[in-house]
Amino acid sequence: MTGIATPELPSYASGAWEVPLLGDTIGDNFDRTVARHGDRDALVDRPTGRRWTYTELAAEVDALALGLLHAGIGKGDRVGIWAPNCAEWVLVQYATAKIGAILVNINPAYRSHELQYVLTQAGIRMLVAAPSFKTSDYAAMIAEVRGDCPDLEQVVLLGLPEWNDLVETGRNALSTDRTRLAAAQADLSPDDPINIQYTSGTTGFPKGATLSHHNILNNGFFVGELCHYTEQDKVCIPVPFYHCFGMVMGNLACTSHGATMVIPGPSFEPAQTLAAVAEERCTSLYGVPTMFIAELADPGFEGYDLSSLRTGIMAGSPCPVEVMKQVIDRMGMTEVSICYGMTETSPVSLQTRSDDSIVQRTATVGRVGPHLEVKVVDPSTGLTVPRGEPGELCTRGYSVMLGYWNQPDKTAEAIDAARWMHTGDIGVMDADGYVSVTGRIKDMVIRGGENIYPREIEEFLYTHPDILDAQVVGVPDEKYGEELMVWIKMREGAEPLDADSLREYCTGKLAHYKIPRYVHVVDEFPMTVTGKIRKVEMRELSVDLIGR
């Protein structure tokens, strides 16, 4: 018998799973959990000392939902939320989901020009915001841009009379007007848009990834399934709610399983987080690698009893082997999971399992998630490459966003005709279906878990009167994984800028993590023979420059 060549296994995997997809809306799913686990702790807000059982949380959510209805907010209206992590953020998330209003997450680090863009692009009718946080005067920034945002009808500042009035109006209506809320909730489909999250864009401004109930409820649920969550679990969530990590992998994973959401603080602080785990007896802890590094390095680390920890999620950037070993050995997180995803896919597409090896949890980002498909393709042909070969990582399934808000052209660039989401990341799938992410096809920089596209920063720097041209690249950084370096061509006669003067210009206008750390003034950029800027060469030269 003559030998026949066996075709190589393609870089394709699908997540067959015995548990079916959820077919309900976020509000209906939440109500089912309340009916099953009403007496269990649902939410713990450590900074304020407030706690809610599921029954108590449901009453607060329903009151706020009715308050929103009485304020004229309904299905399809956009409600912005601009605040650090707090209990009110969670209330707004579930109240808007109950009435079908589309929640628009606004990064707490945004400054006025970014705020104005999002308010206008999403057509936000009501903005719920903290009055201030740290050095950010949100109220002042809102006042600065409000006149340029024609759709913005109502601003509700947390803790002030307008917030209290909104909640109290709904609370007073609970006994007489509950049928109105039930009718609004019954009018919703799982496929309705319910959330817009802005991702940094290559065209100078962020794009609004529009996600449905079906997208994010199922993603939160199945991430929780792979973490083996039950109503016995308590999840410490120091990652931001404005991102999918907090509101989907955190909140929705909890509420779909009857688990407890624990807010350690408004933003990440290592000691606060460790204290929350120890005192609330949390079983799961979330973070990007830099957070875990900071916790392990905390001077009081040995004084915290972390024996309750079983699992958790590390995502945002690759985890160093030594950090993973310490998270398992010193923190007791033997089942810690690595996740990979993007906002446009709700977010998780790949996840390690609780029994995976250290190598699989550090050298790869796991296997395909339940009910999803992933493949690695040749970027030039679109054809699936054999396993072991690099190509562009693509994903398809329930998690793929509805599209970018009011940007069909950008949606068509990201999602092909067969509904595959093209991630722009370079991946390699091994024989067992585990995927390693080895780089990015474009120039995205990941700084401490934040995705940054240089073009957005470059567009802003063009507004500086002394800058003729600016090109931003990522350079390696021990703490954040990557930092930003900008190469600048000055206008004739202008004094060269340095890092301090550039930071002064950007502060208050750009989010802090988008402000370049390094500045290099040049007469010309490295160019190809066809006149294109060679960012690859710039990155290589930048590494030498910061080394010197």
Q: Which tens digits make up the pLDDT trace of 422-472?
A: 999 889 999 999 999 876 677 778 898 887 867 778 878 988 999 988 889
pLDDT of res. 6? 63
pTM metric for this prediction? 0.85
pLDDT of res. 530? 42
CA nearest neighbour of 77 among 230, 184, 159: 184
d(CA 453, CA 397): 26
pLDDT of res. 468? 82
Structure tokens at 523: 């007469």
Please report, in angstroms and rounded to a whole number, the separation of the first and last CA atoms in the chain.
65
Cα Rg of the chain (Å, integer): 24
Task: Evaluate whether 24 touches 189 at the Cβ level (below 8 Å).
Answer: no
d(CA 430, CA 385): 12
Q: CB atoms < 10 A from the CB of 472, how many?
A: 24
Long-range contacts of 140-146 (CB under 8 A, 24+ apart): 141/111, 141/112, 141/115, 142/115, 144/112, 145/112, 145/115, 145/116, 145/119
d(CA 298, CA 512): 24
pLDDT of res. 319? 81
pLDDT of res. 1? 47
Cis-peptide into 347, omega within 30 deg:
yes
pLDDT of res. 3? 57
Alpha-carbon torsion (404, 406, 408, 413), positive or negative: negative
User: Residue type for 23, please?
Assistant: G
Task: Evaluate whether 219 touches 252 at the Cβ level (below 8 Å).
Answer: yes
Structural domains of the chain ordered from first start: 26-426 (3.40.50.12780), 445-547 (3.30.300.30)
User: Residue type for 483, please?
Assistant: E
pLDDT of res. 416? 97
The strand pairing partners of 14, in sequence order, are 373
Structure tokens at 21: 């997809």
pLDDT mean values, one per 10 residues, the chain (548 residues) = 70 97 98 98 98 98 98 98 98 99 96 95 98 96 98 98 98 94 98 93 74 98 98 98 97 98 98 98 94 93 98 87 92 97 97 95 95 94 94 97 97 97 93 88 80 78 88 92 94 92 94 95 76 78 88
pLDDT of res. 104? 98
**Element of type H or E holding 195:** strand 193-199
pLDDT of res. 5? 62
